[in-house]
């Protein structure tokens, strides 16, 4: 592996050097990520190099154009704010020919960016205060990009959070019934069909201009924030592959779906599944606190709807894959996707019960 990395490294426009250590990072599930130590004449330096999964991201040009556009914008904002951009924004390197990525001898695409030391990612949340910091970090990311023209970005994954389209895909899978599983899940099917109108809400509001199109991260999980080791503050948002035009409701919703649930998303004991309102409040405090005055009051008011719709969308995607024979999501056991769908639907049902409480919490942070 070291030899391959050395050849790829030599393609990028950085000070020449010898790769002395390659360590694979196993946190990601899509692309292959490596921490690479390079000995330059000026000293040793660490980089992050990634072999991008082109099956998931077939349009590498759009992917990397989006990332470079957003990170360069954020770098300028950091300088304007008197911050050190080397700590707060990922710096990607161009190739010697000016490309945004290169291809190895086997044709696979690679990219490279600076390693940010003295910080780590976390896969589990210690408590509400920490989750509030997560909310603040993602809120600040959105705030800094509030003046960025989202229309210049391409759709890396077309229709990624088009929940109305996800509903249509579900109906098509239902009609085809390729895995012969339709008759086993009448209650789950009815649950989805009864919520067609909910699936259309955010899509319609965006189309009608009732809420603005913004730059969205689209994967607002805890482990996509670098937390400073000393201050325990979020310093940099990472994993920018799904940066696309969208709605802040999507980013808020996915964070709540994942971080404020009382159970893992494949928990089979549905009595354990629900919305932790303390965690919901904690994230909302940090998120809304950063965004007040930078996004519209209507967007803030609708944040709980984002949590409901994205959770419903995720459940629909799991159930669609179950109907299709488990082709998209990796499964570790029989009926894994069905278990995931039931889990998300239970979370949706709990959100529906607590919607007025969630709206009240958000309203309180708007003052």
Q: What are phi and psi of 72, to 5 degrees?
A: -65, -40
Residue 231 lies in a domain: yes
Q: For residue 178, what pLDDT is reported?
A: 96
Domain CATH code at residue 28: 3.30.200
106 and 158 assigned to the same domain: no
168 and 222 assigned to the same domain: yes
Contact 338, 234 (CB under 8 A): no
Instruction: Check the CA dihedral 307-309-310-312 and report its sign.
Output: positive
152 and 221 assigned to the same domain: yes
Residue 252 lies in a domain: yes
Please check the confidence at residue 29 and state whether its pLDDT lies above 70: no
Side-chain-side CA neighbours of 355 within 13 Å: the count stands at: 11
Instruction: Check the CA dihedral 154-156-161-162 and report its sign.
Output: positive
Q: For residue 55, what pLDDT is reported?
A: 86
153 and 32 assigned to the same domain: no
26 and 161 assigned to the same domain: no
Mean pLDDT of 190-216: 97
135 and 262 assigned to the same domain: yes
Token pair for residue 363?
């309203």
201 and 230 assigned to the same domain: yes
Residue 113 lies in a domain: yes
Mean pLDDT of 26-39: 85
218 and 333 assigned to the same domain: yes
Residue 38 lies in a domain: yes
Residue 68 lies in a domain: no
| β-pair type (225-228, 119-120) | antiparallel
15 and 164 assigned to the same domain: no
State how far the Cα of 178 lies from the Cα of 176, in Å rounded to an integer. Answer: 5
Residue 62 lies in a domain: no
State how far the Cα of 53 lies from the Cα of 60, in Å rounded to an integer. Answer: 10
Torsion of CA 167, 141, 347, 168, to 10 degrees: 0
Q: For residue 330, what pLDDT is reported?
A: 85
Please check the confidence at residue 317 and state whether its pLDDT lies above 80: yes
287 and 167 assigned to the same domain: yes
Residue 243 lies in a domain: yes
269 and 348 assigned to the same domain: yes
Split at pLDDT 50, 70, 90, the class of 65 is: very high
Q: For residue 126, what pLDDT is reported?
A: 87
Residue with tokens 């669609």: 320
104 and 185 assigned to the same domain: no
- Domain containing 343 equals 128-365
pTM greater than 0.85 (yes/no) = yes
What does each C-alpha distance from 285 to 131, 136, 237 come to in angstroms?
A: 10, 8, 19
Domain CATH code at residue 160: 3.90.1200.10
Split at pLDDT 50, 70, 90, the class of 57 is: very high
The number of domains in the chain is 2
For the stretch 236-287, pLDDT in tens is 999 999 999 999 999 999 999 999 999 999 999 999 999 999 999 999 999 9
Instruction: Check the CA dihedral 128-305-170-187 and report its sign.
Output: positive
State how far the Cα of 201 lies from the Cα of 195, in Å rounded to an integer. Answer: 10
* CA neighbor of 12 nearest in space, from 107, 95, 114: 95
């Amino acid at each position: 592996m070291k030899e391959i990395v050395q050849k790829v490294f030599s393609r990028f426009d950085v000070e020449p050097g010898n790769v002395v250590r390659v360590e694979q990072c196993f946190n990601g599930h899509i692309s292959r990520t490596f921490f690479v130590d390079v000995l330059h004449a000026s000293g040793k330096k660490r980089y992050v190099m990634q072999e991008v999964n082109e099956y998931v991201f077939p349009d590498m040009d759009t992917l990397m154009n989006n990332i470079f556009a957003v990170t360069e914008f954020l770098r300028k904002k950091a300088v304007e704010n008197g911050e050190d951009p080397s700590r707060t924004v990922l710096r990607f390197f161009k190739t010697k020919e000016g490309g945004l990525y290169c291809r190895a001898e086997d044709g696979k695409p690679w990219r490279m960016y600076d390693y940010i030391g003295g910080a780590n990612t976390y896969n589990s949340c210690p408590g509400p205060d920490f989750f509030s910091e997560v909310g603040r970090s993602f809120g600040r990311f959105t705030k800094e990009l509030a003046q960025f023209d989202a229309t210049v970005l391409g759709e890396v994954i077309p229709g990624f959070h088009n929940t109305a389209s996800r509903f249509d895909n579900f109906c098509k899978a239902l009609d085809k019934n390729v895995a012969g599983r339709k008759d086993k899940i009448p209650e789950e099917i009815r649950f989805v069909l009864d919520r067609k109108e909910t699936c259309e809400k955010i899509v319609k509001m965006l189309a009608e201009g009732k809420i603005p199109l913004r730059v969205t991260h689209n994967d607002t999980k805890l482990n996509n924030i670098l937390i400073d080791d000393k201050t325990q503050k979020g310093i940099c948002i990472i994993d920018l592959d799904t940066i696309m035009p969208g709605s802040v409701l999507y980013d808020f919703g996915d964070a709540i779906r994942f971080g404020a649930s009382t159970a893992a998303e494949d928990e089979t004991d549905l009595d354990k599944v629900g919305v932790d309102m303390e965690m919901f409040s904690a994230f909302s405090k940090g998120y809304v606190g950063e965004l007040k005055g930078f996004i519209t009051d209507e967007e803030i008011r609708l944040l709980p709807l984002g949590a409901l719709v994205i959770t419903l969308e995720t459940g629909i995607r799991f159930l669609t894959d179950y109907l299709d024979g488990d082709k998209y999501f990796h499964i570790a056991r029989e009926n894994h996707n069905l278990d995931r769908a039931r889990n998300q639907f239970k979370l949706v049902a709990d959100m529906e019960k607590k919607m007025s409480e969630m709206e009240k919490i958000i309203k309180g942070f708007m003052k």
